[in-house]
Structure 1
Amino acid sequence: MKKVLFTTLISLTVCAQALALHLPGEIQPTRYTYYLTPEYGQKLKEKNESNERPVLGVPHGELTGDTPIRQAKGFPAPTAMTCISSVYYNRGAAANWLKVACVDNNGLAYSADKKWPPKSIAKRVCTVGQSGCDSFLVLDSDNWSGPQ
């Protein structure tokens, strides 16, 4: 019984951690919401339904799925996503690099390297906090009201 309970707890911990966004380096405070074109939303849906997650040879700024394959299937095509970035030092390249992480309106995660996704994937791009700009990526600091 203890072994089953321990295994269940470990499984839940691993699953919960798999869905968190990982951004190395210094997080940039500005977030942007992309209201996706239907064509690009369908492209992301097809990527999510695929059993492949390319790692090498992905063009800079191209979004790749970060949600585990089994958890990404069965969702409708996303219509919007919110993205945030970080700047980190890449030791192999001996340079600062940009990492972009996004969460769509279905809760699925994506990332891009060295460039933001192009504006052409969206009907509209806005800065989170502006009137009429939804956010699908919530930070712990969003609810922070200063020192108490």
Structure 2
Amino acid sequence: MPGKKLACVLPILESLTNGPTKSSRKTCYGRAPSVLVLLPTQELAKQVYAEFEVYGVSLNLTGYCLYGGALYRSQEASLKRGVDIIIGTPGRIKDHIERGNLNFSSLKFRVLDEADEMLKMGFVNDVELILGKVKDITKV
């Protein structure tokens, strides 16, 4: 399973650091994320985040994993500092959107991993709300 998740992570990291979006990547405090990865479960979100950490940190990219059951305040504080990549579950992502903690104005990539499972698990409304907040992404 890690190989499949890595196949998703590496092209995104490469594009953020070397691709056409590099010049537009903000590095300031409170910056909005460039990537959103939605997964159906906490376990999958943690796996993808672990893959990101291995490679993203060495490329000077920051990320955060958002899922239910984790301390909300620490998640909120990390989002306020600014992140490049948000990885998380629909329910917690929705919570942060509704509280005004997430801004998708700089989003370049969105990934729905195991979307069929998210829908089977009853996240249809959450996914629709989240994607409704994502503005059209210009092809790069």
TM exceeding 0.5: no
More helix by share: 2
TM-score relative to the length of structure 1? 0.30
> Larger radius of gyration, structure 1 or 2?
1
